[in-house]
Amino acid sequence: MKESIQLAHGGGAAQSAELIRELFFRYFSNEILLQAEDAAVLPMSGGKLAFTTDGFTVSPRQFPGGDIGKLAVCGTCNDLAMMGARPRYMSAGFILEEGFALSELEALVRSMAEELAHNGCQIVTGDTKVVPRGSADGLYITTSAVGSVEIPSLSAAALQPGHRIVVSGPVGDHGTVIFAQREGMDLQTDLVSDCASLWPAVQEIIQNGIPLVAMRDATRGGLSAVLHEWAQQSSVSLTVQQDAIPVRPEVLGICELLGFEPYHLANEGTFVLAVEARHAAELVEVLRTKTACHQASIIGEVCEGHQGKVILETAWGTRRFMEMGSGELLPRIC
Amino acid sequence: MKESIQLAHGGGAAQSAELIRELFFRYFSNEILLQAEDAAVLPMSGGKLAFTTDGFTVSPRQFPGGDIGKLAVCGTCNDLAMMGARPRYMSAGFILEEGFALSELEALVRSMAEELAHNGCQIVTGDTKVVPRGSADGLYITTSAVGSVEIPSLSAAALQPGHRIVVSGPVGDHGTVIFAQREGMDLQTDLVSDCASLWPAVQEIIQNGIPLVAMRDATRGGLSAVLHEWAQQSSVSLTVQQDAIPVRPEVLGICELLGFEPYHLANEGTFVLAVEARHAAELVEVLRTKTACHQASIIGEVCEGHQGKVILETAWGTRRFMEMGSGELLPRIC
């Protein structure tokens, strides 16, 4: 193969076939994919399906803790996991800029394959387009996935007063890492993105029989976006103790320096759960001891009144509305 | 809403929510989409599923006979239809360039909605990313779809000697229209792209009880790419009568002028079928009289020997191998 992507790699003829065979089939190999039909036929039976899609245009494409390939698989599988669905089958659509290095593409495809394995998910169908030099910023990946629903009743509209809000770990790591890398800041720490696949943790919650009300990963818009969506969709308010939100010191440091709030920063692994009060402590215990979420914490509860609002209680006992965040929060971080 | 896309429309906060609500929910409205969860839960039960994805980077975005929105829905639904699957649920991922006109986006979204209706398909989940000015050529759309398989045994690897090859209509219209528009050529004809949804025709074939061996739409790489894929995947050769391939005079004219072969040009509606000899005439009859495929024709048959090759028989009785096409066939046409 050539060393960089040519327009012909997207042309549907011989060079396209070579790229598919030599790269995608090699790393994503499975029986369904190798059928190479127009559409993949999935051997699924019964039960409800979940279906989701996500586009990845992140820059930089490599960052401490991951790359755009890992991110694409995590992000899309996590959207399924957050609906209580086991990730099963994925499609991958690549938009490549002419001249993109094949070595980098291979590294990203390898990352994707590794992360798929953590989810027990397979890429069964794909598409590659090549656009002329200057018409894309390197590469964009759009992944879609189908999963089988194992927790049937999760809903952002199901929160009721008294439910507890749990966050799975520190917020803002991904946003901080990407921001620092973009701006050429040397954080002089080992801070890495929280980019991770969440299905293993969700599976642990299921196996421990803990019923959940809602789950959502705090990606674009951060913790604040999830809390506001829930407050609005469930017509309730959420009260959150600012001190209870786990934030790493280095993230807090950057935020204080630059005037950000950690709960507005993007995450790629940290997720938020709503649970009945009587199950909250056990949920945190399971997350802390049986999954990678060692800093899982109860951060607040669902309340009546102030519908659609999120109320932040500070350590000094003051209360204020958490801002929803609007406009461009940071240089694009997902 | 503002008149053009801002970076904040992809930021996951207030302006993203507005774009989703005011544009996507308005045109794609359906119960599942409006749940607005991380993943759509599909009320499907039993039976095999088909799953496919396709990316659309076409330029120009509007062309005689369609636009990139219509193309995205047709292309993805057609990949399902070609596997004998009824299109059911679609995801749409938009990558938008900062500054993209909202009026154009609305027109494309409207096209998508219209074409979805022809397929009985719904967009149930989506994603929007905005990249900085200069980082994309306007907009890219990646659509994925899930369908229910109604013809279970179609396969590009199932062709056997004696099977007949049928093409549903004239080849090369889409490629010619796009090429002419790109090059600023005035064709002085009413030639339009063949861009169309194929599920209605496939449904008619099913309802008439005609068993099929394989089906594929002749998109990138044209008729030649489909025939070569079949010959290779089934380890057979295909013999095609050049005169039997329907080609419109204006397409033939352009091809003669520029040294193209019509069977290398992209199509967006014309499809190819493999069928047992005893069903071939009835298949053509059904296509011609009960669907929009009025020029459907038997163009050749499956043979032994010369595995993986396509043999073109000319009107003068000469035989030669059809070239597979390699490299960039035309300025990008899909």
Shared domain for A217 and A99, answered yes or no, is: no
In a domain, A291, yes or no: yes
Q: Establish if A176 belongs to a structural domain.
A: yes
Q: Are residues A64 and A173 in the same domain?
A: no
In which band, very low, low, confident or very high, does the pLDDT at B13 lie, cut at 50, 70 and 90? low
Contact A13, B329 (CB under 8 A): yes
DSSP B22: I
Q: B334–A12: do the CB atoms touch at under 8 Å?
A: yes
User: Would A23 be classed as within a structural domain?
Assistant: no
pLDDT tens digits for range B113-159 = 999 999 999 999 999 999 999 999 999 999 999 999 999 889 999 99
Q: How does strand A237-241 pair with strand A310-313?
A: parallel
Q: Flag if A327 and B125 touch (Cβ within 8 Å).
A: no
Whole-angstrom distance, CA of residue B39 vs CA of residue A60: 27
For residue A93, tell me if it sits in a domain: yes
pTM: 0.91
CATH number at residue A132: 3.30.1330.10
Residue A237: inside a domain? yes
pLDDT in tens, B290-319: 999 999 999 999 999 999 999 999 989 899
**Closest residue in B to A11 (Cα–Cα):** B328
- A14: pLDDT confidence band, cut at 50, 70 and 90? confident
Of A102, A127, A149, the residue at which a domain comes to its end is: A149
More confident residue, A44 or B234: B234
Of B92, B120, B149, the one marking the end of a domain is B149
Domain assignment present for A20: no
Q: Using CB atoms and an 8 Å cut-off, which of residues 89-118 of chain B contact chain A? A: 89, 91-95
Q: Which domain holds residue B48?
A: 37-149
Which token pair is B330? 């035309």
Nearest residue on chain A to B54, alpha-carbon basis: A127
pLDDT (average), residues A271-293 = 98
Q: Given an 8 Å threshold on Cβ–Cβ distance, is A221 in contact with B13? A: yes
| Partner-chain contact B131 A42, CB within 8 Å | no
The top-scoring range by mean pLDDT among A256-270, B75-89, B254-268 is B75-89
The total of structural domains in chain B comes to 2
- Which residues of chain A make contact with B95, given a CB cutoff of 8 A? 55, 57, 95, 140, 142
- pLDDT above 90 covers a percentage of chain B that reads 78
User: Buried (b) or exposed (e) across A292-331, using 16+ Cβ within 10 A?
Assistant: bbebbbbbbbbbeeeebbbbbbeeeeeeeebebbeebbbe
Instruction: Report the residue from A85, A93, A326 with minimal CB separation from B13.
Output: A326
Residues B130, B179 within the same domain: no
Chain A contacts in chain B segment 128-187 (CB below 8 A): 128-132, 134-137, 140, 142, 144, 146-147, 149, 154-157
Chain A, residues 190-249, CB within 8 A of chain B, namely 216-217, 219-221, 225, 229, 233
CB contact under 8 A, A83 and B125: no
What ipTM was estimated for this complex? Answer: 0.89
Q: How many CB atoms lie within 10 A of CB A60?
A: 12
Indicate which CATH number applies to the domain containing A280. Answer: 3.90.650.10
